[in-house]
Structure 1
Amino acid sequence: MIKKVQIYKKDKWNMLNVEVHGTRFIVRVISDQWGEDNFEFLSRPALMHWAEERFSKERFEGPEEEREQILAAFKEV
């Protein structure tokens, strides 16, 4: 069974979803600038490491509250 979790969705062109396939995590990032990117992780720690790097304070453009909400959503996956 595949479990889909929406991390964020700004509109139909900008969103990030995680699909859980047993012990594998597939992250699908859809953006109006870059199209669709897929990332596959074999463990939850690897997924969280990627999320914390991608949404680090230095790289994230937006309010701190939004960044914290995104990371909290990843932790609930």
Structure 2
Amino acid sequence: MFKKVQIYKTDKYNMLTVEVQGKTLIVREISDQWGEECHTFVSRPEMLHWAENRFRAEDFAGKEEERAAIMEGFRGV
């Protein structure tokens, strides 16, 4: 049994979830542009490092609250 955490979901084609399977963290990113991408991490710090690079502050100019909510979701995993 694993735990699934939803980071965000705008609709059924745009969402980001994290599955916790023991010590393994699997990030599933689904978008209507790119389809599904899967990233596997062996530690929480590794996943947070990826998230910091994937959701860079400069990409969210004017949408800082959206980025803060996404990063808070990752930290809560």
For 1:43, the equivalent position in structure 2 comes to 43
Task: Report the number of matched residues.
Answer: 77
Structure 1 residue ranges, 4+ long, deviating more than 4 angstroms after superposition: none
CA distance in 1, matches of 2:31, 2:61: 15
Using the size of structure 1 for normalisation, the TM-score is 0.94
**Residue type of the alignment partner of 2:12:** K
* TM-score normalized by the length of structure 2: 0.94
Unaligned stretches of 5+ residues in structure 2:
none
Gaps of at least 5 residues in structure 1 are none
Identity score, percent: 61
